[in-house]
Amino acid sequence: MNKEHEIYIKAAKSAKIGIWQVDLADNTIYWDVVVRQILEVADDYIPVFGDGLRFYSEGKSRDSIQKYLDCALNQGISFNDKFEIQTEKNNIKHVECVCEIEFVNGLASRLLGTFQDITNEQNLIKELENSVEKFSSVFSSANDAIVIIDSETGFIGDCNNRFHELTRFNKAELLEMHYADLFPFDKKKEVRVFYKNQLRKDEYSITETCIIDKQNQRIPIEIASGKKFKVLSKTYLVCFFRDISERKKASENITMLSLVAEETTDAIVITNPNGEILWINKAFSKLTGYSLLELEGKKPGQMLTGPKTNSEKTNLIRNAIKNRENIKVSLLNYNKQRQEYWFELNITPIFDSSGECMKFVGVGRDITERKERELEMKSLLEFTNQQNNKLYNFTHIVSHNIRSHTSNLSMILDVMEHTDDVAEKLSYTDYLKDSTVKLTETIEYLNDIITIQRNVNIERTGINVKKEIEKIKKSLRQTILESGIHITDVIPTDLVINAIPAYLDSILLNLMTNAIKYQSPDRQPKLEIGYEIRETYTILTFTDNGLGINMEKYGHKIFGMYKTFHGNDDARGIGLFMSKNQIEAMNGKICVESEEGVGSTFKIYFTE
């Protein structure tokens, strides 16, 4: 080995390029250290003729190297190519093999060449190819229209299919166009400024403008520009065009709807999915007295409900929000000044494209006036029904009771008319007197009923209950002593109720005398008078231990006219009927709890 050859081998080793040769005269093979390292064989490994083929991967690489070697040996043709090999340690590598041929007397005498590991380079090339393939796929199938512009000339260098669809120009037409040709005259200046700034700053930026398509139609777009890149000393700029026609239209619609929502007389509130307020319009603010600043982030129920708000309806609203459902409901609310108003509310959930609830929109209106009319009509209807029932009862009483008395009088007069016996005629005079007295009593009772029902608007006054009870007890002192009844009360000395004095006097008198009249002969008679304050009522209670009433049998008749249940001679069946009418005339009510043989409790409800 001469000195020049030795220097070459050292240089190749330093560059990690292996040297090999085949002496065709004796078929001996030489591999240097680098070749052995690439093939991962031992340093003392001695190759034999044809041994190197086994390292080439089966298939394309092995077939190629075999073909190259045949051509070199038989035809004296050199080669230079890349192959895939499998090393002694079963590692896959990529190599570049160069083969030159030496000739003696026109015949090939020796093959010699280089062997270089290019695995890293090949992997990098493959990775780049994959990247290019991915980029090409993304470029061609992207939703956005993409155009690549030559930054020096401003002409379009390339574009994807989406850009063709957006502009309606074919690729050949686009590749002959300057980017400025895509924009209408009134937008050219602002686009040039955007383009120049982008080239100068070289950073991602975005703006809105519009382009003109092949049919000269204006299309609103959003244009975004990325950083510059170089290919073969040319600088290019990538721009992304997005059609925002639908968004613009939606934005215009939203703006229009916002103006309508802001100015409509309907109260509108928008909440997040948890029911917390995001926005209210003027009508909602005017109705409730609250500003958006005061309500934002709060739930309407926290601010607008009060003592008379129907809890069942508020629960319905909570459940509708929880279940993301529509709901329409009317309820009593309170404004900032705690004034009541009736509100008819329609709540609708808004969902995104994936079905997730984004917000709730509540649209409502003040229906206080309508509700008051409804309540007034309902009250009037109830009052009319009551009056009709009373009129029916009154008519029944008149037709039955007065007719009974008049029939009885007619019979007595008929008998007196048809007898000549004076003594017999005189004997019927007492019957006649009794009948006329009973007729008079009936007429007086009926007159009292009419008076009560006509005087529903008599003004009530504050009456000290303790003093009124003491006054009644004093007037019944003799009767109380004779009956032996023990009357007690726990009424405070300052308890005052609003009532018509004459009616309260009659009610208290009737309930006390009933306790005396219907006492049980089996025990010491007692009457306990108590009271209770409940919501808007003051309740007086009268509990006795008298005969009691069979409620299952007579409960529906207790407050009827002429209804008696114990057969007392002095029972007229008019007292409780009168008391009920008097209490109802004062917007109150009366109820009874009773058990036969145990006693009764009457409760009288007086409104404030």
Instruction: Read off the pLDDT of residues 97-123 as tens digits, 9 standing for 90 and up.
Output: 999 998 888 788 889 889 999 888 877
pLDDT of residue 291: 92
Q: How confident is the model at residue 461 (pLDDT cuts 50, 70, 90)?
A: confident
446: CB partners within 8 A, 6+ apart: 394, 397, 398
Domains by residue range for the chain, with CATH: 3-123 (3.30.450.20), 142-247 (3.30.450.20), 264-366 (3.30.450.20), 373-453 (1.10.287), 461-607 (3.30.565.10)
Highest mean pLDDT among 15-29, 331-345, 400-414, 549-563: 331-345
pLDDT of residue 94: 93
As a whole number, mean pLDDT of residues 332-350 equals 91
Nearest to 346 by CA among 274, 268, 291, 272: 268
Least confident of 55-59, 77-81, 485-489, 582-586: 582-586
Total residues belonging to the chain? 608
* Max Cα distance, the chain (Å): 190
Which phi and psi angles does 50 have, rounded to 5°? 85, -5
Instruction: Read off the pLDDT of residues 451-460 as tens digits, 9 standing for 90 and up.
Output: 555 555 567 7
528: CB partners within 8 A, 6+ apart: 488, 489, 490, 541, 542, 543, 544
Q: How confident is the model at residue 404 (pLDDT cuts 50, 70, 90)?
A: very low
5 pLDDT more than 70: no
Q: How confident is the model at residue 393 (pLDDT cuts 50, 70, 90)?
A: low
pLDDT of residue 96: 92
Which phi and psi angles does 59 have, rounded to 5°? 105, -135
395 pLDDT more than 90: no
As a whole number, mean pLDDT of residues 495-511 equals 84
Mark out the alpha helices in 142-210 (DSSP H runs): 161-167, 171-174, 185-201
pLDDT of residue 569: 45
272: CB partners within 8 A, 6+ apart: 278, 359, 360
Element (DSSP H or E) covering residue 66: helix 60-75
52 pLDDT more than 70: yes
Question: In whole angstroms, how far apart are CA 76 and each of 22, 53, 71, 79, 109?
Answer: 14, 19, 6, 10, 10
As a whole number, mean pLDDT of residues 87-91 equals 92
Least confident of 12-16, 217-221, 275-279, 468-472: 12-16
pLDDT of residue 26: 87
As a whole number, mean pLDDT of residues 313-333 equals 90
Instruction: Read off the pLDDT of residues 590-608 as tens digits, 9 standing for 90 and up.
Output: 888 888 888 889 999 998 7
Q: How confident is the model at residue 257 (pLDDT cuts 50, 70, 90)?
A: low
pLDDT of residue 390: 59
pLDDT of residue 24: 86
293 pLDDT more than 70: yes
Q: Is 150 exposed, middle or buried (0-12, 13-18, 19+ CB in 10 A)?
A: middle
As a whole number, mean pLDDT of residues 413-429 equals 70
pLDDT of residue 489: 92
408 pLDDT more than 50: yes
475 pLDDT more than 80: no
192 pLDDT more than 70: yes
pLDDT of residue 476: 77
pLDDT of residue 89: 92
pLDDT of residue 176: 85
Instruction: Read off the pLDDT of residues 296-311 as tens digits, 9 standing for 90 and up.
Output: 999 988 888 889 999 8
Chain center to CA of 480: 68
Mean pLDDT score of the chain: 80
Angle at 165 between CA 162 and CA 169, to 5 degrees: 115
Instruction: Read off the pLDDT of residues 524-583 as tens digits, 9 standing for 90 and up.
Output: 999 999 999 888 889 999 999 988 887 777 656 676 554 444 444 444 446 677 788 788
pTM of the shown model: 0.37
Q: Are 547 and 519 in contact (CB under 8 A)?
A: yes
User: For residues 40 and 224, which has the higher predicted lDDT (pLDDT)?
Assistant: 40
Asked whether the CA dihedral 462, 465, 467, 471 is positive or negative, the reply is positive
pLDDT of residue 81: 92
Q: Are 209 and 187 in contact (CB under 8 A)?
A: yes
pLDDT of residue 128: 59
pLDDT of residue 392: 55
